[in-house]
Amino acid sequence: MKRALVTGANRGIGFAIAKGLADRGHDVLLGSRNPAAGKDAAHRIGATALDLDVADPASIARAVEVAGEVDILVNNAGILGSGSVLQDKQDFSDSMAVMVHGPYLLMHHLTPHMVAQGFGRIVNVSSGWGAFSEGVGGPGAYGVAKAALNALTVSAARSLPSSVKVNAMCPGWVRTAMGGAGATRSPEQGADTALWLATLPDDGPTGGFFRDREPIDW
């Protein structure tokens, strides 16, 4: 049994990923910045709730101390701003905190154990909006933050041994609070590639960007 931590997991894609890992027999820590929602979601799937606000370094430090050794990390938490990237300084700061700095700190804290034991899986939930090949789109700073998360993925994979696999993925347009009711995919469909990457075999890829289990361009 592997211990997995999924951030932003009390609903949407994160919840579907956490449930999928729990269904596969893993010990799942369900990260949520809303303690009540996290406890409710964790109870529903047999996971353990973990109070975690990825925008707050102090919250991250407390959470990793509680979590202990983690084998699988899924950086799923995200926020979606509005307007153009240069309009709202707070949106830019918040986006980078949630989708770049938070994942970085979690990787910083949790990868030493992965390296020491010769096994680790890290999945960064990104977006086509974070791809230069697709124009770095989206409202506000969302695309910029996801592009930075993609860059972090590549750099981290290069600095870690191949036994610790770090990949980014795009879930597509998913029916969540962020994606809206008109989206074309269910949370379970959006979670599929993340679950695949979280459970890769020893000869699986690292340092890649995937959608529907297929490589896509950065």
Q: Which residues are known catalytic residues?
A: 142
Decide if 80 contacts 140 (C-beta within 8 A).
yes
The CA distance from 171 to 71, in Å, is 22
Helix (H, G, I), strand (E, B) or coil at 176: coil
Instruction: Tell me which residue has tokens 């992965």.
Output: 114
Q: Which residue, 54, 28, 11, is CA-closest to 191?
A: 11
| Tokens (6 digits) for 173 | 């347009």
Q: Which residue, 21, 27, 30, 10, is CA-closest to 69?
A: 27
Q: Which residue, 162, 168, 74, is CA-closest to 118?
A: 162
Count the alpha carbons within 13 Å of 204 in the hemisphere toward its beta carbon.
Answer: 25
Opening angle at CA 191, ends 104 and 160, nearest 5:
35
The CA distance from 9 to 15, in Å, is 4
